[in-house]
Amino acid sequence: MRRFVLLGVLAASCWHATPASSQTPAERRLSRTALEDKIRGGWAGQMIGVSYGAPTEFRSNGRIIRWHIDWKPEFVTNSIQQDDLYVEMTFAEVLDKVGLDATTEQFGEMFKDSKYHLWHANAAARYLLNRGIKAPWSGHPKFNAHANDIDFQIESDFIGLMTPGLPQQANLFADRVGRVMNYGDGLYGGLFFAGMYSAAFFESDPRKVVEIGLKSIPAESGYGRIIRDLLDWSATEPDWEKTWNRLTDKWDRDDACPDGALNEFNIDATLNGAFVALGLIYGKGDFDKTLDVSTRAGQDSDCNPSSAAGILGVILGWDKIPDKWKSGIPAIADKKFDYTSYSFNGIIASTMARAFKVVERAGGKVTDTEIVVPFQEPKAPALEQWAVDGPSALVESGNGTWSWGTGWRDTSWRRRHAKAGDKPGTAAKLAFSGTGVALMGDYDDKGGTAEVLVDGAPAGTINAREVIRTHESVYWHVTGLKPGAHTLEVRLKGDGPVTIAGAVLYGK
């Protein structure tokens, strides 16, 4: 087993500024020792955060967590099995194998063949990839009903960790990777997080890190607006709970994810990303407080502290993370994360090697003792948004607005009434009013196919055959319909069972 080695104590970084008449530094320098310490701190922060928050995940939706959250250093072992870490390592491995020019399609191909459990945008993307829909379409809302979900946001950390002080490079890689499973605000979550990590190598104030990260996404996007609200409100409000109330009152609604429609569950990237920034801003550089706020904000309360602690881990470096949080890591530092080729020590070495290449490609320099990073201003991409109306109704299979032909039988799915059929020509019809609809149902290893018609015209197909460990609940969806009355019809092809639990309607 390889030794757990701390390559050195945190060395001071320094700026080489242009003459006093200019406010823009020409370059920044970071010793190799300091770079390793910050990368180590970033990966450790993720491991600590996800392990600390794991017992609370989605146990407090729309409410602040009030109960005691226990911690022992050995709890960090839980991080070895967490998707927050092993999924992003899939994409890191693509870069290690293919090189820095790896394309979105190449990231998608490796993701398609992954064997770990996935949910939401990740699950939908892997399902689509295995049905022949290649990236970036696997993340596009035309096919992926979870395009605004949190998924890429929680997998973008590795990008910021390999782009120290280089936000434009971070955006370049984030755009390629993020489109495998997300689009619009779902994509911007990853750009925002990668931008914060990139800034954290040279900025010690967490609030400024949030401000710099915000510059990497369009200000007019939904994501840009929620973070702007947070920055404005927190500037004058010392109580994080009052700011949390304002965030949830304004932004915790109209989650487009069909699983979160019309209930307190919210997997949207924007709200959860704001909770990460909330922890950073009100934590003020204190590791305990940052973890506490980002976790107690609720919703995806293991992913959120993982990213908040990861970003703060870069600001502080490994050496300054309190021992009570990190002391359990040396014992597992050479144990591989599930489904990956990397241990803690291994991913640090991999990240260091990629960071050197990125710095040189950006016009910087890598020597035996330091990296010299050219100054880059963050640049936001052109605005893209999934213009989906908020969910307006959940029409379960037992609702009288459904018309069921012969051949359907009663069953249940996720504690809901459902209808199942497997005979060719078996049909069901839903009359609805709105601008979109998502058809919900069950995938299994014998699932069949069906034709979908909207307003009497062919609109797509359903394939209910599962992809292993891919936990998806949406059969088919469409948005952007003209407001008003529509019909949705499903006609089975008879090649296996199709189970319909209901439909989520959008708009009026």
Q: What is the pLDDT of residues 77-95, one digit of tens each?
A: 999 999 999 999 999 999 9
Q: Does residue 15 register a pLDDT over 90?
A: no
Q: How confident is the model at residue 24 (pLDDT cuts 50, 70, 90)?
A: low
- Looking at the domain covering 391-506, what would its CATH class be? mainly beta
Amino acid at 372: V
Provide the residue count of the chain: 508
For 262, other C-beta atoms within 10 Å of its C-beta total 16
Instruction: Using the CB atoms, write b or e for 165-199: b if 16+ within 10 Å.
Output: bbbebbbbbbbbbbbbbbbbbbbbbbbbbbbbbbb
How confident is the model over 59-71, as a mean pLDDT?
97
Enumerate the domain spans of the chain. Answer: 14-64+72-255+268-374, 391-506
Q: What is the pLDDT of residue 25?
A: 74
The percentage of the chain sitting over the pLDDT mark of 70, rounded to a whole number, equals 95
Q: What is the pLDDT of residue 290?
A: 98
In the three-class reduction of DSSP (H, G, I as helix; E, B as strand; rest coil), residue 196 is classed as: helix
pTM summary value: 0.94
Q: Does residue 12 register a pLDDT over 50?
A: no
The alpha carbon of 105 is separated from its chain's Cα centroid by a whole number of angstroms, namely: 19
In the three-class reduction of DSSP (H, G, I as helix; E, B as strand; rest coil), residue 190 is classed as: helix
How confident is the model over 29-35, as a mean pLDDT?
98
Closest by CA position to 299, among listed 276, 272, 279: 272
Of the listed ranges 14-18, 146-150, 401-405, the least confidently predicted one is 14-18
How confident is the model over 148-154, as a mean pLDDT?
98
CA distances, 345 to each of 78, 368, 473 (Å): 17, 20, 37
Can you say whether the dihedral through the CA atoms of 283, 57, 147, 266 is positive or negative?
negative
Q: What is the pLDDT of residue 228?
A: 98
Q: Which residues have C-beta within 8 Å of that of residue 506, sequence separation ≥ 6?
A: 256, 388, 389, 390, 391, 392, 434, 435, 436, 437, 438, 479
- Edge to edge, what strands does the sheet with 427-433 contain? 402-404, 427-433, 485-492, 449-454, 457-463
CA distances, 375 to each of 13, 15, 85, 352 (Å): 14, 10, 29, 19
The percentage of the chain sitting over the pLDDT mark of 90, rounded to a whole number, equals 93
Instruction: Share the mean pLDDT of the chain.
Output: 94
Q: What is the pLDDT of residue 275?
A: 98
Q: How confident is the model at residue 478 (pLDDT cuts 50, 70, 90)?
A: very high
Tell me 308's DSSP state. H
**Is residue 335 exposed (0-12), middle (13-18) or buried (19+ Cβ within 10 Å)?**
middle
Distance CA 471, CA 468 (A): 8
How confident is the model over 321-331, as a mean pLDDT?
98
Q: Which residues have C-beta within 8 Å of that of residue 434, sequence separation ≥ 6?
A: 389, 392, 393, 481, 483, 486, 505, 506, 507, 508
Q: How confident is the model at residue 11 (pLDDT cuts 50, 70, 90)?
A: very low
Q: Give Dmax over CA atoms of the chain in angstroms.
A: 81
Q: What is the pLDDT of residue 6?
A: 30
- Looking at the domain covering 14-64+72-255+268-374, what would its CATH class be? mainly alpha
The alpha carbon of 55 is separated from its chain's Cα centroid by a whole number of angstroms, namely: 19
Q: Does residue 1 register a pLDDT over 60?
A: no
Of the listed ranges 68-72, 194-198, 200-204, 254-258, the least confidently predicted one is 254-258
Q: What is the pLDDT of residue 297?
A: 98
Tell me 482's DSSP state. P
